[in-house]
């Protein structure tokens, strides 16, 4: 039986995290913001929450999801956690500008709502607890773009802006993002209790996560080992998804790693454009720890940090290592499967990895656009034709590409696949539209002038990244020259 969408008055939350002991969090209300206004909202996320989409345009919606009013049943709180930042133990961190409102179940799915930019908390350290409009728009759009790309991710219900000013490198207007996920528990949540030698609290948190998110693990002989194994698997697969679409997170600290294996905490992220495996999307990351090529290894490193924190519960070094040991194999298996899809191959062959490597070498040597290269590859015929030219135009070394295409087409011939079926399959996994930095920047600059049309247009386009949408062809073009100078850092 379908449950009718709820009005805001009937949109009652429960806060399961609030049932943990008081030292896990601090209860507090959001700091009000002046004259909130709607920048954009996701009707799809509203539907997942069973919230009536007509509510998205109401004044009450602005107050509830900016933090000016408290939703029925909500117990706003900021959670404490710790973490490793850029490989160094940073000690206690916590929700310095985020409040967990609570969650609700709908269609057999429990989702929590968190307001980012809702004001200072006891964990704000030197921060002001606010988020700027610029970074809030980026997080909103990327959360929804990643979901449309079928990559595990937190979602975003809305961005609500205000003319209230905050200071970063320069004064900027503020905003609040309503983030949505089944849980906001992080690797660093476990590290906090481990490094503070609070084993009872470590066990409480693990039991809470298993009961809430992994109830099937309760039947395992060692549920804590099973938890680590499951999170390791999900993280390895998430890294493969990131690499396959050219996504770079930018700040893979353990406090930014979801215990559910979802993409969490969008800060200085980026999508690969001119391919360079050493590319660093975060200007703050001077050493390149979180560069594109490092992400799979850092995912493994972070799982090892989680394993260290869980080891007292698991019981032995051998059992802990056993739960971790499959990370490389899971990553390779998932990445290889995704590559076969991207290259339109339905079967495994001994030389496939060399074939893939050859294409990535061409991408690297020619700094060809990652997304457009795979998109144009998807449209090639089984035999050389004029369709080759769109792909060839992206490469300076056309002879090298032509030689690779001979080998590629020979591999396709081995499968005797139908050309139209292969093209359709490849176009369904190689997106035409991604959130390029310059597209986000154009939308941000318009939004800063109170024109939110571009944010909402991008939301619509990125919601269907595999569709041709010929009327929006210009949103899939190579970035303009001025976009080469765009930089994103951790300062938002």
The SS3 call for residue 91 is strand
The catalytic residue among 255, 265, 285, 388 is 255
Tokens 């107050």 identify what position? 63
Active-site residue, 255 included: yes
Both tokens of 361, joined, read 């070498």
Q: Report the alpha-carbon distance of residue 310 to residue 202 in Å, rounded.
A: 8
Both tokens of 362, joined, read 């061409």
Residues 6+ apart with CB under 8 A from 50: 3, 5, 6, 104, 106, 107
Going by C-alpha positions, the residue among 459, 453, 360, 440 that lies closest to residue 400 is 360
113 secondary structure, DSSP code? E
5 secondary structure, DSSP code? P
Both tokens of 227, joined, read 């938890």
The SS3 call for residue 188 is helix
Going by C-alpha positions, the residue among 340, 336, 333, 304 that lies closest to residue 320 is 304
Question: In this structure, how many other beta carbons lie within 10 angstroms of the beta carbon of residue 452?
Answer: 18
* Cα 192 to Cα 254, 316, 359, distances in angstroms: 11, 20, 43
Q: Report the alpha-carbon distance of residue 227 to residue 8 in Å, rounded.
A: 36
Question: In this structure, how many other beta carbons lie within 10 angstroms of the beta carbon of residue 286?
Answer: 9
The SS3 call for residue 110 is strand
* Cα 76 to Cα 105, 226, 249, 264, 483, distances in angstroms: 18, 31, 28, 20, 39
Q: Report the alpha-carbon distance of residue 184 to residue 80 in Å, rounded.
A: 11
Q: Give catalytic residues, as residue numbers.
A: 255
């Amino acid at each position: 039986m379908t449950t009718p969408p709820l009005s805001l008055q009937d949109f009652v939350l429960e806060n399961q995290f609030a049932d943990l002991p008081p030292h896990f969090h601090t209860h507090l209300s959001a700091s009000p913001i002046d004259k909130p206004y709607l920048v954009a909202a996701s009707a799809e996320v509203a539907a997942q929450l069973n919230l009536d989409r007509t509510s998205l345009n109401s004044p009450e919606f602005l107050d509830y999801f900016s933090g000016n009013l408290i939703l029925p049943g909500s117990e706003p709180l900021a959670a404490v956690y710790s973490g490793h930042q850029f490989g160094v133990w940073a000690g206690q961190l916590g929700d310095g500008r985020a409040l967990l409102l609570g969650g609700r179940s709908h269609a057999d799915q429990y989702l929590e709502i968190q307001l980012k930019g809702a004001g200072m908390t006891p964990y704000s350290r030197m921060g002001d607890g606010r988020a700027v409009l610029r970074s809030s728009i980026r997080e909103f759009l990327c959360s929804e773009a990643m979901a449309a790309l079928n990559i595990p991710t937190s979602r975003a219900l809305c961005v609500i802006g205000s003319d209230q000013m905050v200071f970063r490198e320069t004064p900027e207007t503020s905003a609040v993002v309503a983030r949505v996920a089944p849980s906001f528990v992080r690797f660093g949540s476990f590290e906090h209790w481990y490094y503070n030698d609070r084993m009872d609290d470590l066990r409480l948190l693990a039991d809470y996560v298993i009961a809430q998110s992994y109830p099937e693990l309760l039947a395992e002989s060692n549920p804590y080992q099973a938890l680590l194994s499951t999170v390791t698997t999900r993280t390895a697969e998430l890294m493969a998804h990131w690499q396959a679409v050219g996504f770079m997170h930018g700040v893979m600290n353990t406090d930014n790693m979801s215990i559910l294996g979802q993409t969490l905490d969008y800060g200085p992220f980026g999508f690969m454009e001119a391919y360079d495996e050493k590319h660093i999307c975060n200007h703050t990351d001077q050493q390149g720890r979180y560069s594109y090529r490092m992400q799979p290894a850092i995912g493994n490193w972070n799982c090892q940090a989680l394993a260290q924190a869980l080891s007292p519960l698991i019981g032995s070094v051998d059992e802990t290592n056993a739960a971790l040991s499959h990370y490389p194999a899971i990553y390779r298996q998932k990445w290889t499967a995704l590559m076969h899809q991207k290259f339109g191959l339905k079967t495994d062959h001994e030389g496939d990895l060399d074939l893939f490597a050859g294409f990535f070498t061409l991408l690297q040597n020619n700094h060809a656009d990652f997304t457009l290269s795979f998109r144009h590859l998807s449209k090639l015929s089984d035999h050389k034709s004029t369709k080759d030219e769109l792909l060839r135009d992206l490469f300076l070394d056309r002879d090298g590409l032509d030689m690779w295409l001979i080998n590629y087409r020979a591999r396709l011939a081995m499968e005797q696949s139908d050309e139209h079926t292969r093209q359709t399959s490849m176009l369904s996994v190689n997106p035409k539209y991604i959130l390029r930095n310059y597209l986000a920047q154009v939308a941000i600059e318009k939004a800063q002038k109170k024109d939110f049309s571009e944010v909402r247009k991008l939301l619509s386009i990125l919601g269907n990244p595999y569709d041709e949408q010929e009327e929006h062809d210009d949103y899939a073009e190579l970035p303009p020259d001025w976009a080469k100078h765009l930089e994103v850092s951790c300062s938002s």
